[in-house]
Each structure stands twice: as C-alpha cells, then as structure tokens.
Structure 1
Amino acid sequence: MEKRVINPWQWQDQRSYVQAVEVKNPEGTLYISGQTAISADGISSNEDMKSQIIQTLQNLELVIKEAGYENKGIVRLNIYTTSTEELWPHFGIIQDWVAKNGVKQATTLLEVKSLFETLKVEMEATVVK
C-alpha cells in the first residue's frame, strides 16, 4: 500500500490532520462504525468529556486491532461531539494519540445536537493496509 498526503498549506499541521490522503494499491480497507465510550457490557458512559475521549480511542484501537489492521493505517477520522466547547480543552488527547500512532488522516469535526444516550463524543474511521 502506498499513501500520499496532499497539503497545499501548512497551517493544518498544528491541528493534527491533513487535507487529503491518496491510497494506492491497498491490501484492504476497513470502514469502522462510530466508536464511543461504551463498555464491553454495552453500557454508555456517564463520565466527563475527557474520560469519554479516552475510552472512545481505546474502543477504536480495539476494533482496528481485532480486524488485523494498525492505527497508523487510519486515513479518515470523523469526530462528532455534542459540545465543541467541552471537547476543545481535551483535544490534545486526540492530537497526542494521532502523533503517537503516526496517523496522517483527513478529519471532519462536527458538533451534533445529541448522540446515543449519555454519550458526548463519537469517532468513525477508515483504515487501510
């Protein structure tokens, strides 16, 4: 698999994403449903935004690993939140995770009216190998 990052500018580098990712000759593509802070027993988290971000990333990692892919293969990461105001103070958690895993992904961040039950953040990804 060959990945090429397209960035006509440099400002997005500090925001932990790229403008576009081209993938040539992938072995496979994994489309992951929105992952949230739901326990292995199916219980939605009542925790704060920081805790939910951490658990959401852990759940995302588990799905990627279980499918036989690697985090660094993420080419698209969509983030949905019920409050960008609550999310921003903890956005560094996501940025650190992206950097630690060597991810170069196209990203969309959207504030939505609500998510399932008590959830505050949801992330869906496309991963290639």
Structure 2
Amino acid sequence: MTRLMGTAFGITAAAALAFAASAQADPLLLNGTYAGGDAENVWTIASTCGVIGCTGSVASNQGWTSPMTLTDGRWNFSVTKPDGFICDDGSYQPAVISISVDPATLGGVVSADSNGACPGGILSQTPFQLRQV
C-alpha cells in the first residue's frame, strides 16, 4: 500500500511539474488597447498562438494596421510611412518603421529606416513604454 501511494504521489507530482513547465513556456499574448506615454497613438492588439506559432494584428488610431509575429519572446511588426523622413535636402522619403515589444514588461523599441532613400540613409531607434488602457 505504501509503495502504491508513493507511486501515485510520484505520478501526480510529475504531472504537476509537467503542467507547470508548460504553463511557464506559454508565450505572453498581447490583447487589448495600449497607449504610449503621450496617449496620442493608441493601438488595438489581438494575438493568439497555435500549432505553427504566434501571430496577431495591431491597428492604430492613426489609420494603419499591421500583422505581427512573436519571435524570440518579442512581438514584432512593421509599418511603412510614406513621408516618414525629411532628408537633409528637405525632401520627404518613405520610412520603414519596425516595432518590437516585450510582452512581459510592455517595453519596446521603434526602429525607423529610410532604406537609403535619403542620401547616406537614416536609421533611428527609440525606446518606448506601453501601458494598457
């Protein structure tokens, strides 16, 4: 009887540990409405994970939408802004804006690249902090 109880306890403990490990390994989803510090840009985000990975979409109150994917624990998406950069010569050029968000801290980085449209190219990176609203 003691051996049977020990075996049952061991199976139960192993199952609990396996469940805890899988719960820890589950990626953090971003779902809801989020804003940055100035609250001018508000994003509505929906994400899900399935057999082939994690995907989602983000829509901005500024009129754009973008698909997003989870890579290395961070949600990533990009948007092309037609007049995103002002070059040294005063001309406007498109910018590819890439955004990466840590779902645990809601901290992120916005990277903007002129793709060489401005002479010499322009690359900028700016950290930001989201908050759920």
Shorter-normalised TM range: under 0.3
TM-score relative to the length of structure 1: 0.24
Structure with the higher fraction of residues in strand conformation: 2
Greater helix share, 1 or 2?
1
TM-score by length of 2: 0.24
Which one scores higher on RCO, CA 8 angstroms, separation ≥ 6?
Answer: 1
Q: Which has the larger radius of gyration?
A: 2
